[in-house]
Amino acid sequence: MQTTQLTASDLSPLTPAYDSILALAPYQTGKPIEELTREYGVSDVVKLASNENPMGCSPRVTLAVTEQLGQLSRYPDGNGYYLKQALADFNDVNANQITLGNGSDDLLDILARSFVGADDAIVYSQYAFVVYPMLAKMQGATGIEVPAQRFGHNLKAMSQAVQDNPNTKIVFIANPNNPTGTQLEKKELRQFVAGVPSSVLVVLDEAYIEYSPESNNRALLDEFDNVIIVRTFSKAYGLAGLRVGYALSSVAVADLLNRIRQPFNVSRVGLAAAAAALADQDFIEKTRLINDEQMRWLEKQFDALGLGFVKSHANFIMVEVQVEMEDITAASIHQALLEQGVIVRPLDAYGLPNWLRITVGLAEDNLRLIDTLRSILTED
Ligand SMILES: Cc1ncc(COP(=O)(O)O)c(C=O)c1O
C-alpha cells in the first residue's frame, strides 16, 4: 500500500487525540500472495515474508473448525473458558492469570491502552518489533528506543533508560526478537527484571518461543508481578489467519486487561482451533525439527553466496544483501524476487535498509528462494 504522510490540515477541523498519531506510518504487512498474482501475473508464488508456518497447522484444527461451522450465528464464549483451561494446564498457571487476544498484537495494544498515558514512556530496543514504537505514538506517549547491541537487546542500556525516565510504564522485550532473530540469556534477563522498579511492566513478547524453547521465561512470572508474557498461535501453531494470542500475568493485571479488551475479541472458530492446536504438541515438535534443519541449510547457502546473516533462533533469518560494488541493493533484490514470485520482507521500516528478512519455508520453497537469489546476484 502506497501511503503519504498525513498532516493536521488534511483532517482539519477534526483533530486526532494526540499529534503523534499523525506521525504513525501504517503497519507494513507481508505482501499477500493474491496481490502478487494480481500485480505481476505470477501464479506459482512462494511467500517467505510473514513468519507463517509453511507446514500449515495441525490436522486436528480442521476437525475443530468444521465442528464450529453450524454454530456461526452464536457469539463465542467471551471468557474463552475451554481454551483458558487448556492454556492454564499447559503453562502451569491459573486460568485467572490469562488474557486472550485477537492475535498477540491485540494484547500489546490492550497493554498500552491499559497502562500508558500521554505523560508516560515506553522503552524498547532498536531493531525490535515495529509495533512497540507505534503503540507509543498511538497513546501520545514518549517512545524510547535503546540502541541495539549486535542486533539484539542491550539490557544494561535498557535498564539505564528506565532509570533515566521515571515516567516509563512498559518495557517491551521480544525474545527471540523479530526481525533479527536474536535471543537473550536467561540469567541476564532475570537480572534485568530484578533491577526494574516494580511499577514498570516488563512485557516479554515470546511470539517465536516454540522455535527456541530455551527462551521460555515462564518462571519469571512466579517471581515478579510486573512481568507479562505474550504468546501467539500465529507462528508455529500455524493459525495466523484466525488471530489468537494470549497473555500470562499476575491475577490483578489479567483482571485489568480483561476489563479493557473487547468482550468477544476471539472468535468462536479461533477459540476452538487454538485449543485443538495446543493439544497437538507432536505437530509443534515436527515444526521445530523441520525449521532447524532448513535453517541450517539456508545458512550454508547464504555462506556459499557470500551473504552475511544474523544467527537466528526463530523461523526467519535476516540476510545482508547490499552488494555495493555491483550496485545491487536490498530494495532491488526484493523487487527482483517479487517479479519472480518470491515474497520476502524488506526491513526499511526497521532502519535496516540493506537487509531482508526471510521466513524459513519448506525445502522446495527454500530451494526456489536460493536459486532465484543466485540468478539475481550473478546476472550481468
Ligand atoms: C515479536 C512479535 N510479536 C507479536 C507479533 C504479532 O503476531 P500476532 O498478532 O499474529 O499474534 C508478531 C508478528 O509478526 C511478532 O513478530
pLDDT in tens, 268-303: 999 999 999 999 999 999 999 999 999 999 999 999
Q: Quick one: pLDDT band at residue 23, thresholds 50, 70, 90? A: confident
pLDDT higher than 50, residue 227: yes
Average pLDDT, the chain: 95
How many Å apart are CA 157 and CA 148, to the nearest integer?
A: 9
> Which atom of ligand 1 is found nearest the CA of 50?
14
Residue 102 CA: nearest ligand 1 atom is 9
What is this structure's pTM? Answer: 0.95
168-174 vs 316-320, strand pairing mode: unpaired
pLDDT digits (tens, 9 = 90+) for 320-351: 997 766 677 889 999 999 999 999 999 998 99
Q: Which atom of ligand 1 is nearest to the CA of 233?
A: 11
- What pLDDT does residue 325 have? 63
Q: How far is the CA of 179 from the centre of ligand 1 (A)?
A: 11
Atom of ligand 1 nearest to the CA of 245: 11
Cβ(205)–Cβ(129) under 8 Å? Answer: yes
Please give the class, per CATH, of domain 31-55+282-378: alpha beta
Share of the chain above pLDDT 70, in %: 98
Q: Give percent of the chain with pLDDT exceeding 90.
A: 85
322 Cα to the center of ligand 1, angstroms: 27
Q: For residue 1, name the pLDDT band (cuts at 50, 70, 90).
A: very low
> Could you tell me the distance, in angstroms and rounded to a whole number, from the CA of residue 245 to the centre of ligand 1?
9
Distance (angstroms) between ligand 1 centre and the Cα of 153 equals 17
Cα distance between residue 348 and residue 345, in whole Å: 9
Kindly give, in sequence order, each residue whose CB lies less than 8 Å from that of residue 360, ignoring residues fewer than 6 positions away.
48, 54, 291, 294, 295, 298, 315, 316, 317, 366
Q: Which of 48, 153, 173, 178 to mutate to test the pocket of ligand 1 (most atoms within 8 A of CB)?
A: 178
Average pLDDT over residues 153-158: 98
**Ligand 1 centroid – CA 180 distance (Å):** 14
Pairing status of strand 98-101 against strand 245-248: antiparallel
Identical fold between 31-55+282-378 and 59-279? no
Tell how far the Cα of 56 is from the centroid of ligand 1, in angstroms. 17
Q: How far is CA 296 from the centre of its chain?
A: 22
User: Whose alpha carbon is nearest atom 2 of ligand 1?
Assistant: 207
Instruction: Tell me how far the alpha carbon of residue 207 lies from the centroid of ligand 1, in angstroms.
Output: 6
| Domain boundaries defined on the chain | 31-55+282-378, 59-279
pLDDT of res. 3 = 61
Matching residue, cell 486460568: 95
- Indicate the top mutation candidate among 172, 177, 235 to test ligand 1's pocket, ranked by most ligand atoms within 8 A of CB: 235
Q: How far apart are CA 320 and CA 322, in angstroms?
A: 6
Residue to probe by mutation, ligand 1, list 51, 104, 172, most atoms within 8 Å of CB: 104
Query: Whose Cα sits closest to atom 12 in ligand 1?
Result: 207
Residue 343: closest CA among 352, 355, 335, 354: 335
Candidate of 52, 124, 129 to mutate for ligand 1, largest count of ligand atoms within 8 Å of Cβ:
129
199-214: average pLDDT: 97
Q: Which residues approach ligand 1 with their CB closer than 6 A?
A: 51, 103-105, 129, 174, 178, 205, 207, 232, 234, 240, 245
Does the pLDDT value for residue 374 go beyond 50? yes
User: What topology is assigned to 59-279 in CATH?
Assistant: Aspartate Aminotransferase; domain 2 (3.40.640)
Pocket perturbation via mutation, ligand 1, pick of 131, 233, 261 by most ligand atoms within 8 A of CB: 131
Cα of 177 from ligand 1 centre, angstroms: 10
